[in-house]
Amino acid sequence: MKGFRIPKSHPRYHSLIIRERIVDGFRKGMVVPEGLIAHGRGEAFDYLLGEKTHDFALMSIKATIAYVLLAEKPIISVNGNLAALAGKEIVMLSDILDIPIEVNLFYRTEERIKIIEEYLKNLGAKKVFGSNCKKTHISGLESPRGIVCVDGIYSADFVLLGIEDGDRTEALRRVGKRVAVIDLNPFSRTAQMADITIVDEATRALKRAVEIAMELKNLDENKLREIAENYDNRKVLSGAFEAILNRLNDARKRGLIISFSRELGL
Ligand code: PTJ
């Protein structure tokens, strides 16, 4: 809420600060109302995952950076939520890895594309594909959300995206691109369809991505290939499910789960 200060002592201070960021993005016209709902879903999964970056997420962030450095034409695809939450980190990542950004929206309007493009440019982004590019369509994605820039996502071989619905990942993979996604929900179609799934909160994940990009940037190609080839997305997704199960088992140990299953018809 405008004018309200979240006390630093609040046990969930960081989560509330991130929530304010998405609301601020909504006020600026970057985030759609549906994006606020999507954020709530993310928060619920983050709570279940313990609101921290797990080792399995670090593995996928590392693999993502290795793949970006090995790719011929990598790109970061940004929507309203991602721009509002982690615009600064995205611009830093784009700068360190020397890769472009494309604004690609599910609820596409030219006005929002321009607002987000300007926002990223004001943060220092050097190459943003947005309103003024030559456009085409990704086949299998209904208009207008399949609209992409010819020299951007359309011709990219590797796409990093986040906080998305499943269709786009599926369609991008169908046209032969490798796709890395940031998604807190390991059940989602996006998470299941991606080549690399970063199961972590986007703001935290992209902060770590910036650090890891600085570390891996000067690594030789063989080392990068080793990281990429040893990566196993099924293991990562399994790790995410296990982390949720562990939280539930912990609740059982603390006596929070009592066996009423028969009474409840379970
Ligand atoms: O800006 P637009 O027009 O492109 O619209 C963007 C939204 C987010 C509205 C659109 O892509 C959408 O409806 O997404 P979904 O289908 O709700 O999927 C969002 C996924 O991201 C869900 O699986 C959430 O759990 C997850 N998620 C939400 N917030 C975060 C997140 N994952 C990581 N970090 C978050 N902060």
- pTM, 2 dp: 0.95
Q: Determine the angle formed by the axes of helices 33-48 and 13-27, rounding to 10 degrees.
A: 170
Q: Which residues contact 17 (CB under 8 A, 6 or more apart)?
A: 6
- How does pLDDT run across 106-119, given as a tens digit for each residue? 999 999 999 999 99
Atom of ligand 1 at shortest range from CA of 202: 34
Closest C-alpha to 186, from 66, 40, 41, 22? 41
> What whole-number distance in Å separates Cα of residue 53 and Cα of residue 208?
9
The residue whose CB lies within 8 Å of the most ligand 1 atoms, and thus the one to mutate among 19, 36, 81, is 81
pLDDT at 11: 74
> What whole-number distance in Å separates Cα of residue 134 and Cα of residue 186?
35
Instruction: Report whether pLDDT(62) > 90.
Output: yes
User: What residues does ligand 1 touch, defined as CB less than 6 Å away?
Assistant: 32, 34-35, 38-39, 41-42, 45, 79-81, 85, 105-107, 162-165, 182-185, 188, 201-202
Instruction: Report whether pLDDT(5) > 90.
Output: no
Element (DSSP H or E) covering residue 181: strand 178-182
Assigned CATH topology for domain 55-232: Rossmann fold (3.40.50)
Alpha carbon of 265 to ligand 1 centroid (Å): 33
Place of tokens 């999964």: 45
